[in-house]
Amino acid sequence: MTDVAAIRSALLSWYDREARVLPWRTGPAAGRMGLRSDPYRVWLSEVMLQQTTVPHATPYFLAFTQRWPTVEALAAEQDGELMAAWAGLGYYARARNLLACARAVASQHGGEFPNSEEGLLALPGVGAYTAAAVAAIAFDRKANVVDGNVERVMARLFAVEAPVPEAKPELKRLAGLLVTDERPGDWAQALMDLGATICKPKAPLCDRCPIELFCAARAKGAPESYPRRTKKADRPRRHGVAYIVSRRGETALVRRPDKGLLGGMLGLPTSDWRDRPWSDDEAARAAPILAPWRDLGAVEHVFTHFSLTLRVMVAEADVAGDFVWTPHEGLTALPSVFLKAARAGLERLV
């Protein structure tokens, strides 16, 4: 691997010129002065960015850091407030783990994040990637930071023929060959920036790539065909009913159990989500209260592992019950699937 030094030099130079300005990054000037990023902000950004695009996560990052400037402030927040602030970002286990992690750091680590990969890895919601990323970016520790971007860059740089996910260990090994003690945080971010802006999944911009000359996939003429992938299984469809119980301009919500889909979030009461559609009678029987239900049509929503056809039913009912009553105009801090159902329902209600 005589090219290691040349590849590193080319990519780090590119990063020094082209690094994107992102709210969780300190500027290159601060980096040269030896200033590290705030571990809290680095950690928060890394968790938010898991399986999530920069444009989607950015407004949440800004809102969170304004409202909770420190890990202690976050640790002191109520569960429900945190979950509401996370609504719309998806993968809600991240939010539950975020709070658990903040509380662990506050109560067991004196408010300071562990500064080693191993220590970070022990925290809730911090896996191999996030531990390595925070260690490298916030603490300047040498770490092999491997996310989807890095896997793609490695698959192309070395023209790895094995398909992912089978090739993941090999891709990680290859990434490790390029890691040194020099500028670990910048190296990790350079590699990820390259993957995000140049070495994109489709239509990579090879003519702008600083390491094009080293790229085996480019030499073969089909960089976009890496990494090889195995076919994905078809996404099944499920059917459910969501119920809008309306009372004087308010709607009944329920807190979902911590485990499972949309865990810990507020949502509309629903039936089970099953393989077969729901008839009117079945929908009425599965409802949270006895009432004259009106059919308001259906909405479609796609989750990672299934598609959902969700019928929306509405009833006016002056009931008590174990509900969280929320004004119609306040139905904003909900998972997107319920936002979709509530909006469709309330539109058609008028």
Spell out the SS3 assignment of 131-181. Answer: HHHHHHHHHCCCCCCCCHHHHHHHHHHCCCCCCECCCHHHHHHHHHHCCCC
204 three-class SS: coil
**How many C-alpha atoms does 312 have within 13 Å on its Cβ side?**
22
Nearer to DNA, 78 or 230 (CB): 230
Cα 226 from Cα 220, distance rounded (Å): 11
Q: How far is the CB of 58 from DNA (least distance, A)?
A: 10
Q: Does 171 bind DNA (CB under 7 A)?
A: no
Q: Look up 46 and say whether it is catalytic.
A: yes
Of 90-98, 170-178, 205-213, 313-321, the segment contacting DNA by CB under 7 A is 90-98
Of 120-128, 179-187, 247-255, 311-319, the segment contacting DNA by CB under 7 A is 120-128
Q: Does 292 bind DNA (CB under 7 A)?
A: no
Per-residue mark of binding to DNA, 237-276 (x: CB under 7 A)? -----------------------xxxx-------------
Q: Does 230 bind DNA (CB under 7 A)?
A: no
**Residue from the set 130, 246, 270, 271 that interacts with DNA by CB under 7 A:** 130
| Residue 299 bridge partners (DSSP) | 310
Q: Assess contact for 271 and 285: CB atoms under 8 A.
A: no
Tokens at 132, concatenated: 């390595």
**How many C-alpha atoms does 243 have within 13 Å on its Cβ side?**
27
Catalytic residues: 46
Residues that bind DNA (CB under 7 A): 22, 45-46, 49-56, 88-93, 97, 124-131, 133, 147-149, 152, 165, 189, 192-193, 195-196, 201-203, 229, 231-232, 260-263, 301-305, 335-337
